[in-house]
Amino acid sequence: MDWEFLREEQQWLAKQVHIPEKQLVFAPHDLFFAIDIQYVAEEAYCAVAVFSFSGRHINTFVYKTQAGIEYKAGFFCFREGPPVLRTIRKILNTQHFVPSLIIIDGHGIAHPRGLGIASWIGVKTNIPSMGIAKRALLQYDGDLSQERGATLPILRHQKTVGHVLRTQENVKPVFVSPGYKINLEQATKVALDFSPDYRISNPIRLADHAARSYAKGERSKEFTEL
């Protein structure tokens, strides 16, 4: 694998990322996709939970495809991006659901080279995107307050690119960053609004559960196979 080429590709794609100052306007009936993947060897089991901004769960779709490249730290977007992109296109082409936002279990611009999986997907689809990750890729300083909604800035080159976010009181935080065409303040609000009960947002939790079940060969009325 030509890692230097991929490094340059990542840096070039990072230059295509646009983070607006103004917040987007989402209507209650607008849709968003929440995405997670499970892997079995080089097979990717992708799940996309479709929600409206009113909080209504529309459906969850699952799709089996091949992973991208082998795993290497810092280059995860090239492994996870292609199967996610195939799944999104499959939904667009066969189900005709068009999201106003994509939320993915991963990072956006809070990445050493400014391009995590959420940013990669945003650039490739031209759809606003954001990441909610369980672990940070960049260092941050300070003591995060224990109350729900508390934040700390995540910095890259002295610029705030993400938030350490406490979604539940006295529960360890998640790491939110904009991916593409959404700003940090709005991404943080979305992450908090859709995490009323648990550390991980409900749509991502649902996608994670579906992907895990599908990877185990289970079939369920709770998701639709593409």
Run means of pLDDT, 10 residues per run, the chain, 226 residues: 91 96 97 97 97 98 94 89 97 96 98 96 98 96 96 96 98 98 98 97 97 94 94
Domain that holds residue 177: 29-218
pLDDT score of 73: 83
- 17 occurs within a structural domain: no
Beta strands of the chain (E only): which ranges?
31-40, 43-52, 57-66, 101-104, 129-133, 151-156, 159-165, 174-180, 224-225
CA atoms within 13 A on the CB side of 163: 20
Q: How far apart are CA 76 and CA 144, in angstroms?
A: 27
- 3 occurs within a structural domain: no
- 11 occurs within a structural domain: no
Domain count, the chain: 1
CATH number at residue 117: 3.30.2170.10
pLDDT score of 148: 98
What lies within 8 Å, CB to CB, of 45 at 6+ separation is 37, 38, 39, 62, 63, 64, 211, 214, 215
Sign, CA dihedral 181-52-48-164, equals positive
pLDDT score of 226: 95
Sign, CA dihedral 141-107-104-205, equals negative
Residue type at 75 in one-letter notation: F
Complete DSSP assignment for 183-214: -HHHHHHHHHHT-SSSSS-HHHHHHHHHHHHH
- 18 occurs within a structural domain: no
pLDDT digits (tens, 9 = 90+) for 29-38: 999 999 999 9
- 201 occurs within a structural domain: yes
- 224 occurs within a structural domain: no
- 5 occurs within a structural domain: no
- 1 occurs within a structural domain: no
